[in-house]
């Protein structure tokens, strides 16, 4: 069945470091891919998304490119800030359903 | 700007007890969802609703019940709590179905439930 695999956390970085959080997926057809973020004490919120191969989603300095050849949707940011500390969830939605499948989440901790 | 409000934030239940997790949204969204997240796992869909009076099962509905008497509220009921229901519960809503290209889910901040 469809699934999402994320790298385990926590990921610990210093401010201004480069961030990569890996996400790979298994799905039939052409799923849509998402990154959601959960800041401390808040609900998950959509960070970015891509709906077809080679699309790049971007928001708040974060980027992720839909790579069908490697079935990946890795999240990147060139220079992280302390305020980026949160849990990041990769998710997919199969092309023919309403069902969202989430990864396990990766906790990012950024220190000054 | 309340968005999606879940109560309570934390709860400890004894085995066999019942409780209702409350979820309310003030965005006039038709679509509402309940997810659970077990430690080290992704979110799994319990139940969802496409509008008042309409509910349907998700991936893991056993042990839960829902109702949707109004657009705003979507409570989740646990009738006989079991240790396997220890989890973090998230309610979410959206204006359009998740299969739509420009869909966006809005989540509550979660309820952490422990059944001992």
Q: What is the pLDDT of residues B43-69, one digit of tens each?
A: 899 999 989 999 999 989 999 999 999
Interchain CB distance below 8 Å, B99 and A98: yes
Percentage of chain A surpassing pLDDT 70?
A: 100
In angstroms, what separates the C-alpha of A61 from chain B's closest C-alpha? Answer: 19
In angstroms, what separates the C-alpha of A16 from chain B's closest C-alpha? Answer: 28
The pLDDT confidence band at residue A7, using thresholds 50, 70 and 90, is: confident
Q: For strands A32-38 and A86-93, give the pairing.
A: antiparallel
Instruction: Write out residues 37-56 of A within 8 Å (CB-CB) of B.
Output: 38, 41-46, 51
Contact B62, B36 (CB under 8 A): no
Interchain CB distance below 8 Å, A41 and B109: yes
SS3 per residue for chain B = CCCEEEECCEEEECCCCCEEEEEEECCCCCEEEEEEECCCCCEEEEEEEEECCEEEECCCCCCEEECCCCCCECCEEECCCCHHHCEEEEEEEECCCCCCCCCCCEECCCEEEEEC
Q: What is the pLDDT along chain B (116 residues), one digit of tens a residue?
A: 679 999 999 999 999 999 999 999 999 999 999 999 988 788 899 999 989 999 999 989 999 999 999 999 999 999 899 999 999 999 999 887 666 655 778 999 999 999 99
In angstroms, what separates the C-alpha of B108 from chain A's closest C-alpha? Answer: 5
Of B96, B113, B107, nearest to B33 by C-alpha is: B107
pLDDT digits (tens, 9 = 90+) for A23-76: 999 998 889 999 999 998 888 899 999 988 999 999 999 999 999 999 999 999
């Amino acid at each position: 069945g469809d699934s999402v695999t994320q790298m385990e956390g926590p990921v610990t970085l210093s401010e201004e470091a480069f961030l990569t959080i890996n996400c790979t997926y298994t799905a039939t057809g052409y799923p849509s891919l998402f990154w959601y973020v959960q800041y401390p004490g808040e609900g998950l919120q959509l960070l970015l998304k891509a709906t077809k191969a080679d699309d790049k989603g971007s928001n708040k300095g974060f980027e992720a490119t839909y790579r069908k050849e490697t079935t990946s949707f890795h999240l990147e940011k060139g220079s992280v800030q302390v305020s980026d500390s949160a849990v990041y969830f990769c998710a997919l939605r199969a092309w023919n359903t309403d069902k969202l499948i989430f990864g396990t989440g990766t906790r990012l901790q950024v220190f000054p | 700007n309340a968005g999606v409000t879940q109560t309570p934030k934390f709860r400890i239940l004894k085995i066999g007890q019942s409780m209702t997790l409350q979820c309310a949204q003030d965005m006039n969204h038709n679509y509402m969802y309940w997810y659970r997240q077990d430690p080290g796992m992704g979110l799994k869909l319990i139940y969802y609703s496409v509008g008042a009076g309409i509910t349907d099962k998700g991936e893991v509905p056993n042990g839960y019940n829902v109702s949707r008497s109004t657009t705003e509220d979507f409570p989740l009921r646990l009738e006989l709590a079991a240790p396997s229901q220890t989890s973090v519960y998230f309610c979410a809503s959206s204006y359009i179905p998740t299969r739509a290209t420009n869909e966006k889910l809005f989540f509550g901040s979660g309820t952490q439930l422990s059944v001992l």
